[in-house]
A and B are shown apart, each in its own frame.
Chain A
Amino acid sequence: MTTDDPGTTGAREPRLDRAAKVEDGMKLLAIEPLLVNVHDDLFAIMARAARQPSTRLIGVLDDDGRLVGVIRIRDLVEDVLAHTIPEALMSDLTSVDDVARFGHQVETHTAADAMLPPAAVSSDASIVAAFRRMLKDGLSGVYVVDADQRPTGYLDRLELAYLATRGLPSASGHASDD
Chain B
Amino acid sequence: MDTWIAAAVFLITYALIATERVDRTVAALGGGVLMLLFGIVSQEEGFAAIDLDVILLLASMMVIAGVLRETGFFQWVAIRSVHVAGGDPIRLLVVLALVTAVLSAFLDNVTTVVLIAPVTLFIAATLGVSPLPFLISQILASNIGGAATLIGDPPNILIGSATGLDFVDFLINMAPVAIFTLVIVLGWLAWIFRPSVRTAVDVTEAIASLDAEQVITDPALLRRSLAVLGLTIVGFLLGGVLGIEPATIALAGATLLLLVARRNVHEALAEVEWPTIAFFVGLFVVVEGIVAVGIVQRIADWMLELTGGDPTLTTIGLLWFSGFASAIIDNIPYTATMIPVVQDLGNAGVPIEPLWWSLALGACLGGNATIVGASANVVASGMAGRAGHPISFRMFVRYGIPVTVLSLAISSVYLWFRYLT
| A contact residues vs B (CB 8 Å cutoff) | 82-83, 86-97, 99-104, 106-107
Contacts and interface: CB of A to CB of B under 8 A. Distances in A.
B418 interface: no
Contact of B115 (A88, A94, A103): A94
Contacts of A101: 387
Contacts of A83: 125
B214 A102 contact: no
B121 interface: yes
Interface residues of B, number: 29
B315 to A, nearest CB: 38
Given A88-B214, A103-B389, A96 B125 contact: no
17 contacts: A82-B122, A83-B125, A86-B118, A87-B214, A87-B215, A88-B214, A90-B72, A90-B118, A94-B69, A95-B114, A99-B121, A99-B383, A100-B383, A100-B386, A106-B122, A106-B126, A107-B388
Nearest to A108: B125
Contacts of B215: 87, 90-91
B358 interface: no
B388 A104 contact: yes
Given A90-B72, A90-B215, A91-B72, A96 B121 contact: no
A103 B131 contact: yes
A91 B216 contact: yes
B379 A86 contact: no
Interface in B62-85: 69-70, 72, 75, 79
A103 B121 contact: yes
A107 B125 contact: yes
Contact of B387 (A88, A89, A94, A104): A104
Contacts of B79: 87
Nearest to A92: B217
A104 B125 CA distance: 10
Nearest to A87: B214
Contacts of A89: 118
B165 to A, nearest CB: 33
Interface string B193-234: 000000000000000001100111100000000000000000
Contact of B114 (A86, A87, A99): A99
A89 B210 CA distance: 12
B299 interface: no
Contacts of A94: 69-70, 115
Interface string B113-133: 011011101100110000100
A90 B211 CA distance: 11
Contact of A106 (B125, B210, B214, B217): B125
A161 B33 CA distance: 54
Contact of A103 (B69, B72, B216, B387): B387
Contacts of B72: 90-91
A103 B386 contact: yes
B382 interface: yes
Nearest to B119: A90
B115 A87 contact: no
Nearest to B125: A106
Contacts of B69: 94
A102 B125 CA distance: 11
B388 A103 contact: yes
B179 interface: no
A100 B391 CA distance: 13
A151 B126 CA distance: 35
Nearest to A93: B118
Contacts of A104: 387-388
B118 A96 contact: no
A87 B387 contact: no
Given A90-B75, A94-B69, A100 B122 contact: no
A101 B387 CA distance: 6
B118 A99 contact: yes
B268 interface: no
A91 B388 contact: no
B384 interface: yes
Nearest to B121: A103
A157 B69 CA distance: 36
B121 A102 contact: yes
Contacts of B383: 96, 99-100, 103
Given A100-B383, A103-B386, A106-B125, 7 more contacts: A87-B79, A87-B214, A94-B70, A96-B114, A96-B379, A99-B387, A103-B384
A91 B117 contact: no
Given A87-B210, A100-B383, A104-B387, A93 B122 contact: no
- Which 4 A-B pairs rank lowest in CB-CB distance, beginning with the nearest? A103-B387, A100-B386, A91-B72, A87-B214
B131 to A, nearest CB: 7
A86 B121 CA distance: 11
B232 to A, nearest CB: 21
Contact of B75 (A91, A95, A96): A91
A97 B118 contact: no
Contacts of A95: 114
A116 to B, nearest CB: 15
Among A92, A100, A104, A107, max chain B CB count under 10 A is at A100
Given A91-B215, A91-B217, A96-B379, A106 B115 contact: no
B71 to A, nearest CB: 8
A137 B315 CA distance: 58
Nearest to B388: A104
B222 to A, nearest CB: 11
Given A90-B118, A91-B75, A97 B386 contact: yes
